[in-house]
Chains A and B, each alone.
Chain A
Amino acid sequence: MDADIILEFQNVTKAFPGIVALDDVSFKIRRGEIHGICGENGAGKSTLMKILSGVYPHGTYEGKVLYNGEELKLEGSAIHQAAQKGIAIVYQELTLVPVMTVGENIFLGREPTVRGSITWDHVYAEARKILNKYKMDVHPQDQVKNLGMGKMQMTEIAKALSEDAKVLILDEPTSALSEAEVDQLMSIIRTLKEHGVTCIYITHKLEEFFKIADTVTVLRDGKVVTTQDTKDLTSEKLVKYMVGREMKERFPQGDRKPGEKIFEVNDLHAEDPDKGKEVIKGVSFDLRKGEILGIAGLMGSGRTELVMTIFGEYAKVTSGSIKLNGKEITIKNGHEAMEYGISLVPEDRKRHGLVLIQSILKNISLPNLDKFSSFMRVNQDEELAQSTKFAKSLSIKAPNLFVPAESLSGGNQQKVVIAKWLMSGPKILIMDDPTRGIDVGAKFEIYKLMNKLAEEGISIIMISSDLQEVLGMSDRVMVMCKGSSNGMLDIKEATQERIMTLATGLA
């Protein structure tokens, strides 16, 4: 047995009714390396990690997992066993208790006791030791709910490490982090490596593999495509391995011909009704028929707040005007927005877009029940027929429309959200970060769909954190900075540098 190998998968197969999630997976992870796992949604990454962390205990899958040369047999309270053996996992959705302090969270469930009682000074001292060791700039006595996403992430990692982890699995750790926070996280991961911790790193952001990973394993449809050193890889190669075909272009070419001005926002100011704080401080822009208008800006620049306010569901407009087809309108809630033909695909599809426990069918039809209802009765046959049409045209991949939305992959969930808003027949479709957390292939499909909609005359407002996406998809780009609009660029004059200059308020 090679002593250098800490983990080895040997012919691991895991099948669920109707789908083989992992198909004869074999690869090795070296001790002390940062090992990237890459693949589209549904490729089997999560299933693999769930086997490692004990969510799927030994015996529920075929094949072997070797840990330090011995077969890993997680049984009984398997999740707890995995942690005891030094395998820790940090999930994409953080598992911290917001009202507790950093120190309390780190030792949650394992509070060090002296003669049966907890000495908090001791807890905080231990927490500080861990935080200092890995150079994490977090104060143990801060309440978690007051921290930014980056520091929450650090707390979560510290919590995982406090059990003396040998292997740390990071599942999409950067999906909610700002760029500065990502850099901080990267340096922490390098510190971990110096301390001999093996990291398994999962992400959709391919450039991160090149920043940090030593080796990358690519999964596709439950099979290992390749395991290679990062230095031998390029992002084109990675994409090719992932989707199994060459992706010449990330953004499909559209044939958009923006028409007359249909929507206009003039010097809009709005304040948060709960806190009484002004969140929108002077935004002006216009939107043309069949145009894709990109909105760029840093986290906290008020992008989401702006579109939610336009949709009538967030801040109270204090001054300024919104005009639709030249006529001034006020939108008091989402229902009114829909009646004006404005729809919103929200940023967080799980929290704001979907009723996860309900079927695809019910999710698609939810805002559109008026279309199938006479007086009180919902015509469920008509509902199914219409929803099927939209599900087909968006090629939502699911056994049927009666499966719950929670059973779908991220990309397909996003398609369900888009389907439900397309059915409402919008003239203006606001899409808040429409491709967040979904894989390259699904992104491409969504881009194609956006092009098609714009060609059909629907105007799209697209918010995005991904500058390349903004540049690749928009006709014009509005840049926001600290709650106000700080410039409108035609796509021909827009560059990453110009957008960043405007977004950071340097110009």
Chain B
Amino acid sequence: MNLSTFGQQFRKNIQTYIIIILLVLIWGIFAVVTKGGYLSAQNISNLFRQMTVTSLLAAGMVLVMVTGGIDLSVGKLAGFVSVVVAVFQHDIWYALIPDKPILAAALSVLIGLIVGTLFGIFQAYIISYLRVPAFIVTLGGQFILNGGILLVTQGKTIAANQPGFAEIAQGYLPPTAGWILGVIVVGILFFMMFRNRKTKVKYGFENKPLVQDLLKTAFFAVVIFLYVFIVNQYNGVQVPVLLLAVTVIIVSYVSTNTKFGRYAYAIGGNREAARLSGININKQIFLIFVLMGLLSGLAGVVLASYVGYGTIAAGQGYELDAIASCVLGGTSTLGGSGTIFGAIVGSLIMASLNTGLQMLNVAPAWQYVLRGFVLVLAVIIDVQFKKSNN
């Protein structure tokens, strides 16, 4: 690869590079200030575990924002799902199937996903077919869910820390299993790389130099092994992070490699052109918000398992964290562009700031102030870079 194509590549992916650099910078600063404590296996492990709930919401939010919409209800929906799940775990399964923790956990997950999806369908219908702006529908949804949480909990805290259920957000793979998984994933990466090159040849397209593809894949392999190595020094690969990884891969694939995803970007880029291209806009928007509901349901289940109980404050403000993650990751608030990967890195940045500032015992008030500044600063840098590139 010569220098000019490298420059082009760099410019094309500038947004991704900027936030990764920002992430490394934040980690570096915290590592220095905490004298290395920040990069301990325990802290890294907790950091990734902590980001799962917001990341699940952000993954769905990217698609919502790409179509030019917004969803303000996701935080409270995750919260509502978490208290519903807690009630089922604590009261209903305990009464019906007290000696089957795995079945109880599975049923709880199922109910969480169903509740999330149903509420998603309810909002999606009003937004797409009754044509009420998403901002208003989901703002109303937020109020409704807030009331719902109070009704379900009766203002009390409900435990959801039964052994089987707790594994979802607090479980770890044994170290050996972690390594085996790592090796399998790396194997798949290389397999896909070679298969990709083969189809390129079949279609008569030019392949990038083999060395370049090999280096790129090797880089990801090193990152994966390094991650497994670090978290194995603490408790092992975290179950919730695994859950997040699988979800992100699926949603990311859907966003770039399916008609559904491609239509979402087209709708956000130019709604009229998409409509005249024979795309059923209402149906697509409907499906996007249903997917958002499903992911909120999943986030709610993880949330209940993570904190171990359902409370009236569950999910408070998570929608804003999710939106901030998307924006940090380069999703346009005007619709049409944004990536799942970017949003996850954005979410990781938010989580990194949280844990770092907590480690330093910074007062919560100042944590808010700093997070606000970083968000706006990141977007300023991004805007400036784009300007100088044009």
Which parts of A367-389 form the interface with B (CB within 8 Å)? 367, 369-370, 373, 376-378, 380-382, 384-385
- Binary interface encoding of chain A residues 319-361 relative to chain B, with 1 for a CB under 8 A from any of its CBs, else 0: 0000000000000011101100000101000011111111000
CB distance from B257 to the nearest CB of A (A): 6
Q: Is the CB of A351 within 8 A of B270?
A: yes
Q: Is the CB of B257 within 8 A of A346?
A: no
Binds A, one of B68-76, B97-105, B211-219, B273-281: B273-281
- B164 interface hit (Cβ, 8 Å): no
Residues of B within 8 A of A352 (CB): 272-273, 276
Give the nearest-CB partner of B334 in chain A: A357
- B262 interface hit (Cβ, 8 Å): yes
- Binary interface encoding of chain B residues 275-310 relative to chain A, with 1 for a CB under 8 A from any of its CBs, else 0: 111111000000000000000000000000000000
- B58 interface hit (Cβ, 8 Å): no
Which residue of B200, B269, B276 contacts A353 across the interface (Cβ within 8 Å)?
B276
- B13 interface hit (Cβ, 8 Å): no
Which residue of B202, B203, B269 contacts A358 across the interface (Cβ within 8 Å)?
B269
Please, how many angstroms separate the alpha-carbon atoms of A338 and B275 in the complex?
12
Please, how many angstroms separate the alpha-carbon atoms of A313 and B275 in the complex?
8
Q: Is the CB of B279 within 8 A of A378?
A: no
Which residue of A311, A366, A367, A378 contacts B257 across the interface (Cβ within 8 Å)?
A378
Q: Is the CB of B272 within 8 A of A381?
A: no
Residues of A within 8 A of B257 (CB): 377-378, 380
CB distance from A336 to the nearest CB of B (A): 8
Q: Is the CB of B199 within 8 A of A366?
A: no
- B238 interface hit (Cβ, 8 Å): no
CB distance from B98 to the nearest CB of A (A): 41
Please, how many angstroms separate the alpha-carbon atoms of A291 and B61 in the complex?
49
CB distance from A274 to the nearest CB of B (A): 12
Residues of A within 8 A of B274 (CB): 355, 366
Residues of B within 8 A of A385 (CB): 203-205
- A269 interface hit (Cβ, 8 Å): no
Please, how many angstroms separate the alpha-carbon atoms of A362 and B256 in the complex?
11
Please, how many angstroms separate the alpha-carbon atoms of A353 and B262 in the complex?
16
- B266 interface hit (Cβ, 8 Å): yes
Q: Is the CB of A362 within 8 A of B266?
A: yes
B200, B263, B273, B337 pick with most chain A CB within 10 angstroms: B273
Which parts of B203-262 form the interface with A (CB within 8 Å)? 203-205, 254, 257-260, 262
Please, how many angstroms separate the alpha-carbon atoms of A221 and B56 in the complex?
51
Give the nearest-CB partner of B254 in chain A: A376
A366-B203 contact in complex given A351-B272, A356-B270, C-beta closer than 8 Å? no
- B178 interface hit (Cβ, 8 Å): no
A334-B266 contact in complex given A357-B336, A378-B257, C-beta closer than 8 Å? no
Q: Is the CB of A381 within 8 A of B266?
A: no
- A420 interface hit (Cβ, 8 Å): yes
Q: Is the CB of B270 within 8 A of A378?
A: no
CB distance from A426 to the nearest CB of B (A): 12
Give the nearest-CB partner of A339 in chain B: B278
A376-B273 contact in complex given A357-B336, A384-B203, C-beta closer than 8 Å? no
Please, how many angstroms separate the alpha-carbon atoms of A173 and B280 in the complex?
36
The B interface is mostly helix, strand or loop, or mixed, namely: helix
Please, how many angstroms separate the alpha-carbon atoms of A14 and B47 in the complex?
50
CB distance from A349 to the nearest CB of B (A): 9
Which residue of A344, A369, A382 contacts B276 across the interface (Cβ within 8 Å)?
A344
Give the nearest-CB partner of A382 in chain B: B203
Please, how many angstroms separate the alpha-carbon atoms of A334 and B200 in the complex?
33
- B318 interface hit (Cβ, 8 Å): no
Report the interface size class on chain A: 20 to 34
Residues of A within 8 A of B266 (CB): 355, 358, 362, 366
CB distance from B269 to the nearest CB of A (A): 4
Q: Is the CB of B260 within 8 A of A366?
A: no
Q: Is the CB of A369 within 8 A of B203?
A: no
Residues of B within 8 A of A355 (CB): 265-266, 269-270, 273-274, 336
Give the nearest-CB partner of B200 in chain A: A381
Q: Is the CB of A362 within 8 A of B262?
A: yes
Please, how many angstroms separate the alpha-carbon atoms of A385 and B254 in the complex?
21
Which residue of B203, B265, B276, B277 contacts A381 across the interface (Cβ within 8 Å)?
B203
CB distance from A477 to the nearest CB of B (A): 25
Residues of B within 8 A of A384 (CB): 203, 205
Residues of B within 8 A of A335 (CB): 278-280
CB distance from B119 to the nearest CB of A (A): 25
Q: Is the CB of A377 within 8 A of B278?
A: no
Residues of B within 8 A of A337 (CB): 278
A378-B258 contact in complex given A355-B270, A356-B270, A358-B265, C-beta closer than 8 Å? yes
CB distance from B299 to the nearest CB of A (A): 23
Residues of B within 8 A of A333 (CB): 278, 280
Residues of B within 8 A of A334 (CB): 275-278
Please, how many angstroms separate the alpha-carbon atoms of A352 and B265 in the complex?
15
CB distance from A387 to the nearest CB of B (A): 12
Please, how many angstroms separate the alpha-carbon atoms of A262 and B372 in the complex?
63
A370-B259 contact in complex given A334-B278, A358-B266, A381-B200, C-beta closer than 8 Å? yes
Q: Is the CB of B199 within 8 A of A381?
A: yes
Residues of B within 8 A of A369 (CB): 259, 262-263
Residues of B within 8 A of A313 (CB): 275-276
A353-B273 contact in complex given A362-B266, A369-B262, A382-B203, C-beta closer than 8 Å? yes
Q: List 20 A-B contacts (CB under 8 A).
A: A333-B280, A337-B278, A346-B276, A351-B272, A352-B276, A353-B273, A355-B270, A355-B273, A355-B274, A356-B269, A362-B265, A362-B266, A366-B262, A369-B259, A376-B259, A378-B257, A382-B203, A384-B205, A385-B203, A385-B205
- 9 closest Cβ pairs, A-B complex: A355-B269, A335-B278, A367-B277, A334-B278, A355-B270, A381-B203, A376-B258, A366-B277, A369-B259
Question: B-contacting residues of A (Cβ < 8 Å)?
Answer: 311, 313, 333-335, 337-338, 344, 346, 351-358, 362, 366-367, 369-370, 373, 376-378, 380-382, 384-385, 420
Q: A335-B278, A351-B270, A381-B200 provided; 4 other pairs, C-beta below 8 A?
A: A353-B273, A357-B269, A357-B336, A381-B202
